Amino acid sequence: MLFAGTKIIRVKEVDNQPVLAICDKTGFDTVKGNLIRSILFPKPNKFKFYRDSLRFISVMGALATIGFLYCLYHYIKNSVPAWKVLLRAADLVTIAVPPALPVAMTIGTTVAIRRLKKSLIYCISPPKLVFN
């Protein structure tokens, strides 16, 4: 029985019969092949953290849009200057969607990678890290 990576150094005949060998698995079917396949073709990550954060930003953005449209109606009705309308729109977006969320996610990933490096563990896909 031969395994992937086996090197034959010497062959000895038994009773003048030819030597036979069976190779059971090759390519991606071996243990090493499965490891290479998982590195080359990673499964798509569907983490709740990223999905939930995108949902949160979407909901807050929708609320900000609804609020802005409501205010825009009243601003036009009361003849408010255009610069003031734009200023209020920027306020609504800044308040509704937290601008620090992407930064916080990046810092969390960086801290997790540093902790893994201290243990001599290297990560090839940082978005797959789970924070504790």
pLDDT, position 127: 65
Tokens of 103: 């930064």
**Domain locations in the chain?**
1-41, 48-128
Instruction: Provide the whole-model pTM.
Output: 0.45
pLDDT, position 41: 80
- The string of pLDDT tens digits covering residues 45-83 is 666 666 777 788 888 888 888 888 888 888 888 888 888
pLDDT, position 5: 63
Judged against a pLDDT cut of 60, whether residue 132 lies above it is answered with no
- Name which of 13-17, 61-65, 126-130 the model is least confident about: 126-130
- The string of pLDDT tens digits covering residues 74-119 is 888 888 888 888 888 778 777 777 777 777 777 877 888 888 888 8
Q: Strand pairing partners for 23?
A: 2
pLDDT, position 28: 67
Check: CB of residue 108 under 8 Å from CB of residue 131.
yes
Alpha-carbon separation of residue 40 from 27, 35, 111, 130 (angstroms): 13, 9, 26, 21
Tokens of 57: 């930003």
